[in-house]
Amino acid sequence: MDKKNALRAGALAAGTTLMMLLMSSPALALIPDDGDDPGQGLNVMETLGLYVVAPIAIFAVIAGLVMVLDRSTDRQPKAKAKA
């Protein structure tokens, strides 16, 4: 039964991905729309900083705040109940 659910989920994911790829039209991105005013492109360092370093830094700050501000005292592992 588990194999059937995995197959169904895989088929759904593949179908959704295929439909999204077919519905998008990257060829139309070459034709600018009226009112488009694109700025200058980003260089490699700006791109890496914006899309790699910034998210990692934000994640680290949030994780650090969670660890520092955690007030829970229940850190000992629970004793296993003997049956």
pLDDT on residue 80: 74
- Asked if the model's pLDDT at residue 29 lies above 90, the reply is no
Within 10 Å of residue 68's Cβ, how many Cβ atoms?
7
Confidence of residue 8 (pLDDT cuts 50, 70, 90): very high
Residue with tokens 């650090």: 64
Q: Where are the beta strands (DSSP E) in the chain?
A: none
